[in-house]
Structure 1
Amino acid sequence: MKIPLFLDKIRSRPSTIWIASSTTALVNRLVYTLTIACIPDLLQKTMGVSRASNGIVTAAFGIGGLVAGLLTGYISDRTQNRVGPQIFASFLYMAAGVVLFFAEHFYQIVMFRLVLGFASSTADTMLFTTVADVYPPNLLGFKIAIIFVFDNVGNMLGPLLGGKIYEKMGVGGVAIIAISLGAIELIMVVIFVRNSLDIRRVQVSESPGSLESIAEQNTVSTIVSDRHNMDNQSGLRRDSNASKISIFSITQPENGTTQDAAMPGNATSKNGKSMNLLRLILQLAVAGPTVAIFVSTGMQSVIETILPLRLFDKFGYSPATIGISFLIVGGVLIVAMPAVGFVNDKIVAKYGNYMRYYAIAIGALIIFLSQIVMALAGSYAVLIFGYSLFAISSMMVIVPAQSAFGDFINASESPAMAQCYSLGWIAEGLANMSLPPIASSLYAVAGFLTMLLSMSAVLCVVCALSVLLFPICQHWKSVRQGI
């Protein structure tokens, strides 16, 4: 298909990739959250299944996300195609809507969430990958934060919209909206989205060795590798503060040789060694953020599973009223998210990429504080305050964690960007599979307070320790080498 010249110019801009990715994030979250407020009512009143089954439905979403995460990154990196998986995800959204439209039994709801998880994992892996393909580290945090702004617009509107449509039109009305959103995403991808690797190759050819050919040319990459060899490396790149260097200790290939310098983003380069998922997760720089995404998204899925039950049990709220709670929290995040991304980039530009890991650890501690507030809340206002605090602290974890993936791949100069970002969805899939069923069972047996405090205490401590392991090891290595 021949693309008009003016449209081709628009499609060739990194900002178009960013805007399209943000819009995709909005659609993804809308389709997912449309059913958050109404599924508990549908399962219990219409289908007559137990409350514990709500966790099984969430787990089905996680299973779909896990399978897609294992496949999408590998296929995209292998084929060097970022557009095809997004088109596939659009069709899957429409397919999920069709399944929901005809749903009359519990297994059909499980199937709906399974297909939806596959679609969301595919689309989200690609939207973060494409942005990381075309933006340097000291801009990446803000770009990802804005993507999450759109994500949270969907999180804000989806439950309210879905709850009201469900009350007026039943589950069929919600399904029609889901099908329509999938069609909108398909049209948007076909018209506006170009393969981000093509754009990245153009950037590299215009400005070899960096991604500075994008519109924001006053920035430079902050990534270097192997600090003790930095005086001998011709491709060394410093950040805007010459006194600060960010270090990524990258496990070398089996023969022990150092990777040759390659042009970042040239995914077909012979010099940048590709990494499979196992090799990626064995890198401390990647493992910590992956655990962080598991914890933050897992706690989010726990709250999305339990909060409607809590609001119904304690306050007797209807699905539409429960949707308003997500509307309030989404509004808080829309205001806070740009600041989170902006501050993250400023810290990275000044102190180096390793600061992302300290930021994640601080965010994990604030997550635990927010769970204490929610667990002890005696009123609706305090409960929503705690949820809002959780939402902001969760973004304080996820934004630097997602940015760290792009940092690492740029440092390693490996054509494995999509596979690295697929780890985020694999982590989220595992979290959605395991944590909501545990939470719903604990809620039924021990109550809201015990469930929330016990789960959050364990998860947040594990998160903080995991992400701190990388900078601590790097500091110890530097001390031993006398740097």
Structure 2
Amino acid sequence: MAPSAPLWQKLANTLQLTWFSDYSTPPLGLKWRTNSVFIVSTVAIGLFTDLFLYGLIVPILPFMLEDRVGIPQSQVQSWVSGLLTAYAAASVLFSPVAGFLADRVSTRQAPFLLGLVSLLIATMLLFVGQSIAVLVVARVLQGISAAVVWTIGLALCLETVGSDNLGKTIGSIFSFISVGNLAAPVLGGVLYEKSGYAGVFGIGFALLAVDFTMRLLVSEKKVAARYETQDPTQGDLQQTLSNDEDHVEDQEREEGVTEETSLLGQKEADQYKISPDQPAIARKIKLLPCLKDPSLVTAFIVSGIQATILGTFDATIPTVAEQYYNFPALKAGLLFLPLGVSDFLLGPLFGWAVDRFGTKPVATLSYLYLVPILILLRLPKPCPSASSTSSSQELFEVAAAASSCTDQKKQIAIWASLLLLAGAGLAGTSAPSIVEAGSIVKKFHEHNPTFFGADGPYAQLYGVSSMVFSAGLTIGPLLAGALKDGIGYGNMNAVVAGISAVTAVLAFVFIGRPLRLRSWRRGRAGA
């Protein structure tokens, strides 16, 4: 460090306090703090923490409402649903706000840290809260944190790895965070049973400490460029876009630029050109003009349907496990494992497939594959259940009958196998929508650099993506509950299969590049 730099200036540079940093003295460890692996790992830990703490609290909410708040047992279910809705609603409403604000600041780190502060306060309120009002505020703060971490995190990933590598990056991240999403409810139940609230929240605070440390240390590549040039305007997304353009030019040279491709290039320029006469709201929320592209709208729909299908599993697996096989909460939670194992193992593979073959084939085939699997979920049949019993004696007798049901193990094995297969399909639905949306907005950015500015509307994009996904997670359980009660579990899955089929058609028609068999064969031969 330069000896003339005051101590406070050195600290500001090291902690990357952009309001006070003069970009004259690089922070300690700038090289590894701007390493792509460390940046992506920080985003992954942030998303993991968000989902883990969400899932960790869910199984103990009923006990908190009864023991601490004094809610009658007959009202617990409605209040649990209300608290879940408060989380989702806050995430839906704040996601576009987070995107809008993030695109107006010079670095992603500050809002990324503020999102974690919101999650920390939420966790503390849940730990000490003894009233409905406190619990509602805590769940709202959790939803705001989720909106920030998903919006800022995905935008930071795009800036770090570029659009060409976004698919496998997202696939790997989703594979990692799926572990937390699945393990948290089971772990929360076990910790509450063994050590009470202290054990549950203790592991939560420990994870928050790790997350905070990584978010504090991470440094964006554009910030590093500012230290290299001592220019606060350097290091924007233009370098990423330039690299992407070079990749496209190399690809065109390999395939041969013909008159037809030149015409297609002109057609693309016209398609993504934005008129300068935009209303005031479009100049502030610059993502709005991009919504004229049906591919972008379809990408949002595909993401929302993915969340809706996930929500139907979240809402029905525990209740069906109890009604069909008298499973307690812990055993019902274990049924989520086969659903998530596929995502964990296949997520990176599907992400690579998106980067290699495009979003259209992966999204279309994944949703088509889910159709027969969802229909087959009507195969598991119930053994005697306790759903219609009232007295403790009847409850005991039916539980004994269920345990001795000769067909029970076979039925559970069929159900778990189908959930495993469903997880494989869901693993293929994660990356296409995110990559497609990022690709479309990048094209708008490339063709309208003056309108969008250096950084583009990427945080706004992922803010809307987070909003749509959260809306799907809200709609899914409501839809599943209404259909299951109205037409039964098997018919409910048939309806969801129909939704998946329609989504596959939309993906085939509207997203991704047109399939070109000759180019695919040439790429396969050169692999």
**TM-score interval w.r.t. the shorter chain?**
0.7 to 0.9
Equivalence map 1:60-139=2 (5 Å): 60-104=86-130, 109-139=135-165
Determine whether 1:451 maps to 2:495.
no
2:427 is the alignment partner of 1:395: yes
Distance 1:115 1:132 in 2: 26
Are the aligned partners of 1:25 and 1:150 in contact in 2 as well (CA < 8 Å)? no
- 1:10 matched to 2:36: no
Look up the match of 1:377: 380
**Residue pair 2:307, 2:476 contacting (<8 A) in 1 also:** no
Q: What letter corresponds to residue 254 of structure 1 in structure 2?
A: S
CA distance in structure 1 between the partners assigned to 2:485 and 2:78 by the alignment: 8
Aligned partner of 2:243 among 200, 203, 210: 210
Matched, 1:404 2:436: yes
Equivalent position SS for 2:219? coil
Counterpart of 2:54 (choices 32, 41, 57) is 32
- Distance of 2:443 and 2:367 partners within structure 1: 26
Residues 31, 314 of structure 1: alpha-carbon distance in 2 compared, 3 angstrom cutoff: same
Deviation of 1:321 after TM superposition, in Å, equals 2.4
**Is residue 332–residue 388 contact of structure 1 (8 Å, CA) maintained in 2?**
yes
Q: Which amino acid in 1 is paired with 2:328?
A: S
| Displacement after TM superposition at 1:240 (Å) | 8.1
The 2-side partners of 1:239 and 1:171 are apart by 59
Aligned to 1:195: 220
**2-structure distance, mates of 1:135, 1:473:** 21
Distance 2:105 2:188 in 1: 37
2:303–2:468: 8 Å Cα contact kept in structure 1? Answer: yes
Letter in 2 for 1:242: E
Match of 2:42?
A: 20
Matched, 1:438 2:441: no
Q: Is the alpha carbon distance of 1:152 and 1:393 closer, same or farther for their aligned partners in structure 2, counting shifts above 3 Å?
A: same
Could you tell me the percent identity over the aligned residues? Answer: 17
Q: Does 1:338 align with 2:348?
A: yes
Give the Cα separation in 2 of the matches to 1:153 and 1:295.
Answer: 21
- How far is 1:12 from its partner? 2.1
1:326 is matched with which residue?
Answer: 336
Instruction: Give the 3 Å change call, closer, same or farther, for CA 450–199 of structure 1 in structure 2.
Output: farther
> What is the DSSP-based 3-state SS (H/G/I as helix, E as strand, rest coil) of the residue aligned with 2:243?
coil
**1:314 matched to which residue of 2?**
324
For residues 442 and 253 of structure 1, what CA distance do their matches in structure 2 show?
Answer: 43
Alignment of 1:233-272 (within 5 A): 238=251, 241-242=254-255, 250-255=271-276
Q: CA deviation at 1:43?
A: 6.2
Q: What is the CA–CA distance in structure 2 between the aligned matches of 1:326 and 1:36, rounded to whole Å?
A: 14
**Which structure 2 residues correspond to residues 346-365 of structure 1 after superposition, within 5 A?**
346-347=356-357, 355-365=358-368
Contact 2:290 2:441 in 1 (8 A): no
CA distance in 2, matches of 1:283, 1:206: 25
Conservation of the 8 A alpha-carbon contact between 1:288 and 1:468: no
- The aligned residue for residue 468 of structure 1 is 508
Partners of 2:306 and 2:429 within 8 A in 1? yes
CA-CA distance at 1:44 after TM superposition: 8.3
* Residue among 172, 175, 185 paired with 2:201: 175
Aligned-pair distance for 1:297? 1.1
- Retained in 2: the 8 A contact 1:69–1:121? yes
> Is 2:289 the counterpart of 1:279?
yes
Normalized per residue, the structure richer in helix is: 2
| CA 1:51–1:278: 2 relative to 1, 3 Å | same
How far the C-alpha of 1:356 sits from its partner, in A, is 0.7
Unpaired segments ≥5 residues, structure 1: 213-219, 223-235, 258-272, 348-354, 476-483
Are 1:69 and 1:426, in contact at CA under 8 Å, matched by a contact in 2? yes
The 8 Å contact of residues 159 and 237 in structure 2, kept in 1 or not, is answered as: no
- 8 Å Cα contact 1:340-1:396 kept in structure 2: yes
Q: 1:196 to 1:24 in 2, by over 3 A?
A: farther
Closer, same or farther in 2 for the Cα pair 1:20/1:472, shift >3 Å?
Answer: closer
Cα separation, partners in 2 of 1:243 and 1:99, compared to 1, 3 Å: farther
Q: Secondary structure at the match of 1:34?
A: helix
Shift of 1:300: 0.8
- Contact (CA 8 Å) 2:316, 2:480: kept in 1 or not? yes
Deviations 1:101-131 (A, max 9, x none): 2345666555443322221121011111111
1: CA distance between counterparts of 2:461 and 2:286?
9
Q: What are the superposed Cα offsets for residues 178-201 of structure 1, whole Å, 9 maximum, x if unpaired?
A: 34333331221002x123543686
Aligned partner of residue 255 in structure 2, secondary structure:
coil
Q: For this pair of structures, how many residues does the alignment match?
A: 431
Q: Which of 364, 369, 375 matches 1:366?
A: 369
Q: In the alignment, which of 470, 482, 496 is matched to residue 429 of structure 1?
A: 470
- Deviation, 1:296, is 0.4
In structure 1, the residue matched to 2:384 is none
Match of 2:406 in 1: none
Q: Does the 8 Å contact 2:111/2:148 carry over to 1?
A: yes
Change in 2 beyond 3 A, CA 1:251/1:389: same
By how many angstroms is 1:416 displaced? 0.6
Q: Distance in 2 between matches of 1:207 and 1:335?
A: 29
The CA distance in 1 between the partners of 2:497 and 2:438, in whole Å, is 29
> Distance between the aligned counterparts of 1:104 and 1:447, measured in 2?
37
Deviation at 1:387, TM superposition (A): 2.3
Gaps of 5+ in 2: 1-10, 15-25, 226-233, 382-410, 446-451, 516-527
Flag the structure with larger Rg: 2
Question: 1:298 — aligned with what?
Answer: 308
Distance 2:136 2:468 in 1: 20
Q: Matches of 2:418 and 2:360 in 1, distance apart?
A: 24
Find the aligned partners of 1:310 and 1:106 in 2 and give their Cα distance.
Answer: 29
SS of the aligned residue for 1:79 comes to coil
**Native 8 Å contact 1:145 1:341 kept in 2:** yes
**Cα distance in structure 1, aligned partners of 2:499 and 2:297:** 15
* Structure 1 residues 410-449: Cα deviation after superposition (integer angstroms, max 9, x where no partner): 2222411111111211101222333322322333444322
* TM alignment of 1:32-51, pairs within 5 A: 32-39=54-61, 47=71, 48=73, 49=75, 51=77
What residue number does 2:190 align with? Answer: 164
**Cα offset for 1:143?**
0.8
C-alpha contact (below 8 Å) 2:59/2:189 kept by paired residues: yes
